[in-house]
Amino acid sequence: MAAEPHALAPGFEVLPETAGVHWRPRVDDARLRRLGLQWTLTTLAHVVPFVGAAIGLMLLNPLTLPVALACIAHAWVIPELYAQRGANVVRPRARADKEPERRALGLLGDLLDHDARDLHKTTGLVLEPGRLGVWLVGEAGALLLHRDRIYCYCITVDGRAKAASKLPSGDRIAHLLLALRSDEQGFATVANLNFSGAPWRLCRRISPAMAPALHAAVAMHASRSTDPV
């Protein structure tokens, strides 16, 4: 059975970091749908002209086949580059010394249940159910499975946060996980959306070692979607 989302504690407060992005609407279900639609339209705006140009060239003169194929290649590569950009948000970062890493992983393990610890041990990602969907939290970003799309969020590092980027990987994940649990909508608002699209597009771009985590998130999302209200 899928774990239940963490309930908001009494006296819940919005993440203070949201004040730094006050111009962004607070993320909710409707906002995620609009963002997903925007990404689809943006991708189509890049792909359709190349496909149309390829078809037009072939209709005008079959001798333009090499140029038409180049247009098709561009139409294929652009979505792949977007997906790679999304996969980069969970790419492993540089590791600290072995002993700090070991201690940090022990502390992170205290925040997770048995299944989540095992999944993190093999994939480097933490599976976390939330109200917006199912999350996979990495060292410098997170993936959100919402409805039939995946959203790839990058956490930028600047100012005081630069010190956090030098922490052991377990501490970095714990930092993001606690922020996510305290204010899920604020977390999604503050983070930068690098990609949104079909999960299979991302699955082809992430490290094979991380693929089981994505499959587990998809399975949990599907089970939650079919659970009776």
pLDDT in tens, 53-106: 999 999 999 999 999 999 999 999 999 999 999 999 998 877 666 777 788 888
Report the 10 Å Cβ neighbour count for 26: 13
Residues 6+ positions from 225 with CB-CB distance below 8 Å: none
- pTM confidence score: 0.87
Looking at residue 9, its pLDDT comes to 45
Query: Does position 159 have pLDDT exceeding 70, yes or no?
Result: no
